[in-house]
Amino acid sequence: MAPELTVSSWTLGDQCGFQERVCAAKQAGFTGIGLRAETYADALAEGYHDADILQILSESNMRVTEVEYIVGWAESVRSYEQKFKEQVCFHMCDLFGVQHINCGLMESYPLEHTAQKLTELCARAGDRIIGVEPMPYSGIPDVRTAWDIVRTSGAPNAAIILDSWHWIRANQPHELSVLEGIPAEKIVSIQINDVHGHPYPAAVLRDESMHDRLAPGTGCGDTLGFLRMIYQKGIQPRTVGVEVISDPILQKGVAQAAQFVYDATVRVFHALEAEGTYAV
């Protein structure tokens, strides 16, 4: 058996309607969907109101379980676009009953500056958890940097989100020693996927991330090893998101993409359960 799985927003792209997204996820076997502020805005632009969105979810026995993505939060002068996007993410959390928000930071700043800006973001977030996601091409390239920022911020609602694609592309081994000193409860959620044997060049690594990921267990990134490390650490992620951003997979169609990545993910969890590392 697999845990309750969320199909992350980007896995199904940005060209499908809200109801199509929900139906594809439900049919594949997912119990939750992720929404970015942009895909929530797309649903509103389709003519849905919040009550309509909740009704569609209820009728399908589905939930929104992942909200993203706040960026630009460490800038000294933040754009109105990012201020609005932040407020939309807060509203989405309240609307869907999600307690954490995925956040990234592309810009690089000194540790003290970034930590202070994270403290300020966490204060604006209230009781919501701010999960910073390390990405190798970003201002938070790996988990140790993420933890330094979270710890220095001192914010009780600051946490970390780990993505297996970003983990392996940051050249981090799947070893508990990499997570040493990081409390398990500070890893709020995870996202899983897989990677090709050879990364894109560093200058265009983000292009690989946004267009050419693989489904869990179908590449060279050892998704099983990543999950083994997560559960051996005692991490209990609030959400297990499947974030397979792949042009070739999505070209098969939204429903087919959802089914393909769900089936691949379940196979990985079956293997994890067989070895005794994971149990529902």
Nearest to 197 by CA among 219, 171, 227: 219
> Which domains can be identified in the chain, with CATH numbers?
5-274 (3.20.20.150)
pTM of the entire predicted model: 0.95
- Reported as a pLDDT band with limits 50, 70 and 90, residue 279 is low
Contact 103, 73 (CB under 8 A): yes
Segment 244-253 mean pLDDT: 97
- Reported as a pLDDT band with limits 50, 70 and 90, residue 280 is low
The whole-number pLDDT of residue 136 equals 98
Mean pLDDT over the full length of the chain: 97
- Model confidence over 39-58: pLDDT tens digits? 999 999 999 999 999 999 99
What is d(CA 144, CA 254) in angstroms, rounded to the nearest whole number? 36
> Does the pLDDT of residue 150 top 80, yes or no?
yes
- Comparison of pLDDT for 112 and 1, the residue scoring more: 112
The whole-number pLDDT of residue 142 equals 98
- Reported as a pLDDT band with limits 50, 70 and 90, residue 173 is very high
Segment 14-33 mean pLDDT: 97
- Reported as a pLDDT band with limits 50, 70 and 90, residue 1 is low
- Reported as a pLDDT band with limits 50, 70 and 90, residue 145 is very high
- Reported as a pLDDT band with limits 50, 70 and 90, residue 159 is very high
The whole-number pLDDT of residue 3 equals 83
> Does the pLDDT of residue 2 top 80, yes or no?
no
| Burial per residue of 92-109, b for 16 or more beta-carbon CB atoms within 10 angstroms, e otherwise | bbeebebbbbbbbbeeeb
- Model confidence over 87-123: pLDDT tens digits? 999 999 999 999 999 999 999 999 999 999 999 999 9
Rg for the chain (alpha carbons), in Å? 18
Dihedral (CA of 68, 216, 256, 244) sign: positive
- Model confidence over 202-228: pLDDT tens digits? 999 999 999 999 999 999 999 999 999
> Does the pLDDT of residue 21 top 70, yes or no?
yes
Cα–Cα separations (whole angstroms), residue 147 to 152, 161, 180, 186, 227: 8, 11, 11, 9, 19
Minimum mean pLDDT range among 123-127, 179-183, 258-262, 275-279: 275-279
Instruction: Please name the residues in contact with 25: beta carbons below 8 A apart, sequence gap of 6 or more.
Output: 7, 12, 32, 33, 62, 258
The whole-number pLDDT of residue 278 equals 75
> Does the pLDDT of residue 6 top 70, yes or no?
yes
